[in-house]
Amino acid sequence: MNKFPLLLATLLILASTGCGIIQRISETTPYIAPMQLTADQQDILDLLSHHNRETLLFEFQKPETATMGEFWVDIYSYGQFVEQVGGLGTIRTYNGITSDSNLIVSIEQSNDGEMRWAMTVATAGARSSHDWVYFQMSQTGRGNARGQIQDPIAIQNGVEIILHVTIFSHGSMSVFSDKQIYLEQPELIADYPYVFFVKAKFS
């Protein structure tokens, strides 16, 4: 049974009940950031999650000049790009200030090493989404580490932003609080059988 529509409906209700970003970089800087949830909202999110399932909630505001927002997953194996999966784009064709928007990313890992992602963007009462996309790992390593951005990231025209990282390893792992370091130093992922990046870009 496909549980994504029910999960999506629950999260959209959760996302519209008083969430706010952790902090603004400045009052005029376009940003993307994790939502700051109340204790009750976090309890709801925890009920929907377990060790093989994550739900990520972000808030963002595009620059006034940006007409496209893109969200996807990049897959790497031992530092080499494998493929891009998913892909959700939002297009703005009108002039004026873009209202705050929400991004919901659901990630699941099955026991046989299959990774799944689904995404939804909600803006001003409208939403766009893609259902589950899949990638089957041929090896998963002995352990994994994962994490999302913790602070607001400034949006720059055409610059990729890493929102979340999942790393599988046969040995030790180095995980950084600044996820953007992987864009600047791609050699950091050369020893890992699989690395998955949830990314965004605005242009």
Q: Residue 136: CB partners within 8 Å, gap ≥ 6?
A: 112, 113, 114, 115
35-50 average pLDDT score: 78
State the residue range of the domain holding 194: 4-202
pLDDT band at 82; cut points 50, 70, 90: very high
**Tens of pLDDT, residues 163-192:** 999 999 888 777 788 999 999 999 999 999
The answer, yes or no, to whether residue 4 has pLDDT greater than 70, is: no
The answer, yes or no, to whether residue 69 has pLDDT greater than 90, is: no
| The predicted structure's pLDDT at residue 53 | 86
* Burial of residue 164, with CB atoms counted within 10 A of its CB: 0-12 exposed, 13-18 middle, 19 or more buried: buried
Structural domains counted in the chain: 1
Higher-pLDDT residue of 171 and 18 is 171
In this prediction the pTM is 0.84
